[in-house]
Amino acid sequence: MATSTIDALNAHTANQEAEVQARRKRARRTAWIVGGIAIAIFLLSILQMLNV
């Protein structure tokens, strides 16, 4: 009985770890996208300022 409980807890912990890694991967991708947009806006504002 104790072994099956421990196995179930280990499986649950492994599942949580996989979810955390997936969340971090999505967060990293979102950060890159937002950062890219911010840099694009920054560069466009510099170009606009130079053209005026």
Instruction: Kindly write down the DSSP assignment for every residue of the chain, as one continuous string.
Output: -HHHHHHHHHHHHHHHHHHHHHHHHHHHHHHHHHHHHHHHHHHHHHHHHHH-
| pLDDT band at 3; cut points 50, 70, 90 | low
Give the pLDDT score at 5. Answer: 67
Give pLDDT, residue 12: 74
Q: For the segment 19-33, what is each residue's pLDDT rounded down to a tens digit?
A: 999 999 999 999 999
